[in-house]
A and B are shown apart, each in its own frame.
Chain A
Amino acid sequence: MAEIVMDEVTKRFADGTEAVKQMSLDVGDGEFIILVGPSGCGKSTALRMIAGLEDITDGQVRIGEEVVNEKAPKDRDIAMVFQNYALYPHLTVRENMAFPLRLAKVPKEEIDRKVEEAAQTLDLAQHLDRRPANLSGGQRQRVAMGRAIVRDPKAFLMDEPLSNLDAKLRVQMRTEVSRIVAREGTTTVYVTHDQTEAMTLGDRVAVMRSGVLQQVGAPGELYASPVNLFVAGFIGSPAMNFMPGELSGDTVKTPLGDLRLPDQVRGAVGGVDGGRHVIVGIRPESFEDASMVGGDARDRGMTFGAKIDLVEQLGAEQYAYFQVEHEGVQSDELRELAEDAGSDEVPSSGEGQIVARLESASRISRGADAELWLDLAKLHFFDPSGGRNLAAQ
């Protein structure tokens, strides 16, 4: 068990593309850290550099105080779980899990003991003599984890291990992974493109974009205080709503109306005289059905009217979709997020669509002219060029 330090690590390919750009990350001993980001952001490359499966162009990787840049994967004492499990098809489950121990020339009795123990933890005891081809996806994934656990390594590296499972199984296995990692207490670096997994599993989450680390912090911190537009739009589901706004003195002019900035927000943004174009970010849960909001809470926010296009009733909550008119928000970050989410291909989920999360008891229905309330204390403001969160000075 050891800490992992990435010190200005860069990965440059032969054709000049930089998959990872001077990434510095400290993973504490026993910490469970998640690398998350859209496809192609460099998270898998970073993980493989820690593992030793990719050469490091610049910078250092240290595992437990030791610089491991030149070390072969087998000498780094780390275990890896691959996206498609990479189980040895010609060996049984038992032999798969015993493989690393056999290579390390561990005595046979100890190998048997460790394999049995891991099989008990992972509920694989009755499958030990089967071949991977005869197992289900979830079982194979557990064998892959078992192969990692038996080694008792300095760190676990997991490359999107749940991506190949169907949705329901993924939710179940998420708790399994969490339980196993907590039980073993080993330092874990976990790569995923699913922000839900990132938020639920990690002690800390590191968001990456195009090879650059955007923000590292506890899930709650990333959610409440995203440092830029990209993190704000990436974390949270449904995603944050964005619209253009113009700061002028105490108010910000938005398509929803002129919002009066509450004191704490004004202080954070640093009041600007004269117009200043910003991007306003509002999370769906900052909205509410105006009729459900109590008196004193109302003062904290602002009510406005909206024509509801669509209502999704989820049981515990509802999502209401409505349109606002605006010229559109120009931003590289938003374009990239839309591409990653696939929403740039869907005509209806374009500019101007807002998602609001309402109480499930709300009577608002599709097509209605509803009165909604917006919590002004929960607004985020971003600089359109660069996407920096204006509150994060």
Chain B
Amino acid sequence: MSIEVKSVEQNGNYKIQVSGQVDLYTSPNLRKAIMEAVDKSNTSIIIQLSTVEYMDSSGVATLVEGLRSAMKQKKSFKLSTPSPAVRKVLNLARLESVFTIIESNEE
């Protein structure tokens, strides 16, 4: 498996650290972690994406699904420090403005 997903809970909120390549094969792992975090979190979920080497539309769809689920539950959903690969696919899919993007020192 070419992906690593670590979920860290702090004061009822969740930070998910993603590393490696996110594609059709690996995105179900990310989806599981995100949807669990959205359901369990008190108010906020941060997805740390600085060490993602590659992401395709399966990964983007997973992030969109997480965002939509968080919005329904009135929780905040942010992407932290997306790597150039993540920024590229968000840009190609015209979704950069849809997500709240923060830099790591803002977390």
Q: Do A and B bind each other?
A: no
B positions within 8 Å CB-CB of A: none
| A positions within 8 Å CB-CB of B | none
